[in-house]
Amino acid sequence: MTAPIAPFPYVAIACGGTGGHLFPGLAVAEELVGRNCPVALFISPKEVDQQSVRTAKGVEIFILPAVAFQRGSRFAFMQGAWRSWSAARKLFQARPPCAALAMGGFTSAPPILAAKQAGAKTFLHESNAIPGRANRWIAHPVDQAFVGFPSAAARLHVREATVTGTPVRSEFHTRPPEACRLALGFDPARPVVLVMGGSQGASGINDLMLASLPLLAKRAPHWQWLHLTGPHDADKAKQAYVSLGVQASVHPFLAEMDLALGAASAAISRAGASSLAELAAMRVPALLVPFPYAADNHQFCNAFAVAESGAARLLEQKDATPERVAGQLIELVENSGARDTMKTALACWHSPNAARQIAETILRAVKSADFSPLPVCTAAQRTEASLPDETRLKAVA
Q: Domain limits of the chain?
A: 11-167+351-395, 177-347
Residues 161 and 387: their CA atoms lie apart, in Å, by 31
Given a contact cutoff of 8 angstroms between Cβ atoms, the answer to whether 266 and 329 are in contact is yes
The SS3 assignment for 223 reads coil
Query: Alpha carbon of 265 to those of 181, 224, 261, 381: distances in Å?
Result: 10, 10, 8, 40
- Phi/psi region, residue 264 (left: phi>0; alpha: psi -120 to 50; beta: rest), is beta
With a CB cutoff of 8 Å and minimum separation 6, the contacts of 152 are 126, 128, 129, 130, 131, 161
pTM for this one? 0.87
Instruction: Say what the pLDDT of residue 255 is.
Output: 86
Domain 177-347: give its CATH code: 3.40.50.2000
pLDDT in tens, 317-374: 999 999 999 999 999 999 999 999 999 999 999 999 999 999 999 999 997 534 444 4
Instruction: Say what the pLDDT of residue 232 is.
Output: 87
Residues 79 and 101: their CA atoms lie apart, in Å, by 22
Given a contact cutoff of 8 angstroms between Cβ atoms, the answer to whether 145 and 161 are in contact is yes
Residues 152 and 287: their CA atoms lie apart, in Å, by 23
Nearest partner of 280 among 152, 172, 384, judged by Cα: 172
Residues 27 and 146: their CA atoms lie apart, in Å, by 14
Nearest partner of 298 among 80, 136, 179, judged by Cα: 136
The DSSP annotation for 364-379 comes to: HHTT-TT-SSPPPPPH
Low-confidence ranges of the chain (pLDDT < 70): 1-7, 67-72, 198-201, 368-397
Instruction: Say what the pLDDT of residue 17 is.
Output: 75
Fold: same for 11-167+351-395 and 177-347:
yes
Cα 163 vs. chain centroid, distance in angstroms?
A: 17
Residue 41 pairs in a beta bridge with 13, 61
The angle that helices 273-282 and 298-308 make with each other, rounded to 10 degrees, is 30
Give the CA-trace dihedral at 33, 36, 37, 42, to 10 degrees: 30
Sheet holding 60-63, edge to edge: 161-163, 144-147, 121-126, 99-102, 11-14, 39-43, 60-63, 392-395
Residues 374 and 207: their CA atoms lie apart, in Å, by 48
Instruction: Return the CATH fold of 11-167+351-395.
Output: Rossmann fold (3.40.50)
